[in-house]
A and B are shown apart, each in its own frame.
Chain A
Amino acid sequence: DGGITQSPKYLFRKEGQNVTLSCEQNLNHDAMYWYRQDPGQGLRLIYYSQIVNDFQKGDIAEGYSVSREKKESFPLTVTSAQKNPTAFYLCASSTLGGRQPQHFGDGTRLSIL
């Protein structure tokens, strides 16, 4: 079955360390998204990409970076510049055009040691 795979499920980061969250999809979707979820704040968009080798900042991009070298993959790096990285991170994908619904992975929970 097609879907979105996020790994790892749980991730721990030390102070000053960069960590990378993986997101892979086999839905043949052009667009991919990264969200951050904090209790009571809904989902906030970090970055999104509509095509390989191109991506745009979302509402809270500071302290994060992404790449889109392959259509299937959209990894997110949480850098040491992100001072409050503890959160639940969700990756999503969708087709383009016509405002299609997004399909979500099961998330990665990042905590600081």
Chain B
Amino acid sequence: AQSVTQLGSHVSVSEGALVLLRCNYSSSVPPYLFWYVQYPNQGLQLLLKYTSAATLVKGINDFEAEFKKSETSFHLTKPSAHMSDAAEYFCAVSPSNTGKLIFGQGTTLQVKP
């Protein structure tokens, strides 16, 4: 069965510091992977997606993620955190052509001034 594990339910960084949010997946088929961001009381917005075209994926707001098959990981990074990056982040895997997504538990990012 496919699954997603996000390591760390809360991550705190200082403004200007590197952001690293971890995601590991389990999939019996080549995975399609997504990162979403959610601000309080809002829906999810797509940050980026991996669809096997390139292992390093660039998304919006300077976020990027690297697909590492050997480590079954898809960690999200940003070189310099902004206060506006404070939100909850979800990693998701699409295991089949049904369109269904399997989400991780989410990681709340806190950015300190």
A positions within 8 Å CB-CB of B: 4, 6, 31, 33, 40-43, 45, 48, 50, 58, 88, 90, 92, 94, 96-107, 109
Contacts and interface: CB of A to CB of B under 8 A. Distances in A.
Contact of A104 (B9, B44, B51): B44
B97 A42 contact: no
Interface string B36-49: 10000111111001
A89 to B, nearest CB: 10
B44 A90 contact: yes
Size band of the interface chain B makes with A: 20 to 34
Contacts of A43: 44, 90, 103
Contact of B43 (A50, A58, A100, A106): A106
29 contacts: A40-B9, A41-B105, A42-B105, A43-B90, A48-B99, A50-B99, A90-B44, A92-B44, A94-B99, A96-B99, A98-B51, A99-B32, A99-B51, A99-B94, A99-B96, A99-B99, A100-B99, A101-B46, A102-B44, A103-B46, A104-B44, A104-B45, A105-B43, A106-B41, A106-B42, A107-B41, A107-B42, A107-B43, A109-B41
B98 interface: yes
